[in-house]
């Protein structure tokens, strides 16, 4: 069964081609499927540049610098623990669970891909998966949480054939 998604792309910094947009959609769908999310979900994705993500980071998190990805979960979920039913989370108007928003700096993704010696496709995949896990309650504030999140990221990246 294919995962049902409503993904809204907002592009302050245009995605260069349709393949990258499809790639992000595939990463989101695969991450949700592998994490066991069976509900129809809605996720907003903003593609921007370093200046755009810097502005958002400063305004919403009071951090005065750019970053690679920002995640804004709609709900406080516990990592690895999904609701028994998504009914209480579903928007009756759309029939979707609004998981939250992600913002990705395409400029930063390109720079990091070059720095790490892998493709922009792999870097965008990683950032997208990382953000989805944040929307599902994962974090990396302490070492144990970080290990758990990294393990899930690596499993999903391997499924997508995007290993390190």
Residue 13 confidence (pLDDT)? 57
Q: What is residue 19's predicted lDDT score, i.e. its pLDDT?
A: 78
> Which among 42, 48, 44, 64 has a CA at the least distance from the CA of 14?
48
- CA distance readout (Å), 17 to 12, 13, 67, 113: 14, 12, 23, 17
Reduced to 3 states (helix: H, G, I; strand: E, B; else coil), residue 97 is strand
The alpha helices in 92-135, defined as continuous H runs, are 106-116, 120-135
Below-70 pLDDT ranges, the chain: 1-17
For 62: left if phi > 0, alpha if psi spans -120 to 50, otherwise beta; the answer is: left
Question: Would you say domain 5-159 falls under CATH 3.40.50.620?
Answer: no
pLDDT at 141: 86
Per-residue confidence (pLDDT) for residue 2, from 0 to 100: 45
Q: Phi first, then psi: what are they for 96, rounded to 5°?
A: -115, 155
Q: What is the pLDDT of residue 15?
A: 60
């Amino acid at each position: 069964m294919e995962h049902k998604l409503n993904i809204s792309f907002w592009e302050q910094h245009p995605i260069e081609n349709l393949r990258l947009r499809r790639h992000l959609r595939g990463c989101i769908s695969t991450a949700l499927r592998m994490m066991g999310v069976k509900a129809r979900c809605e996720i907003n994705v903003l593609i921007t540049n370093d200046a755009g993500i810097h502005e958002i980071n400063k305004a919403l998190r009071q951090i005065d610098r750019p970053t690679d990805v920002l995640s804004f979960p709609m709900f406080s979920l516990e990592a690895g623990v999904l609701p028994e039913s998504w009914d209480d989370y579903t928007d009756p108007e759309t029939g979707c669970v609004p998981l939250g928003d992600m913002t990705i700096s395409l400029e930063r993704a390109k720079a990091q891909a070059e720095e790490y010696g892998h493709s922009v496709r792999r870097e965008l995949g990683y950032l997208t998966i990382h953000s989805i896990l944040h929307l599902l309650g994962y974090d990396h504030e302490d070492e144990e949480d970080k290990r758990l999140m990294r393990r899930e990221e690596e499993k999903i990246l391997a499924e997508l054939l995007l290993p390190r």
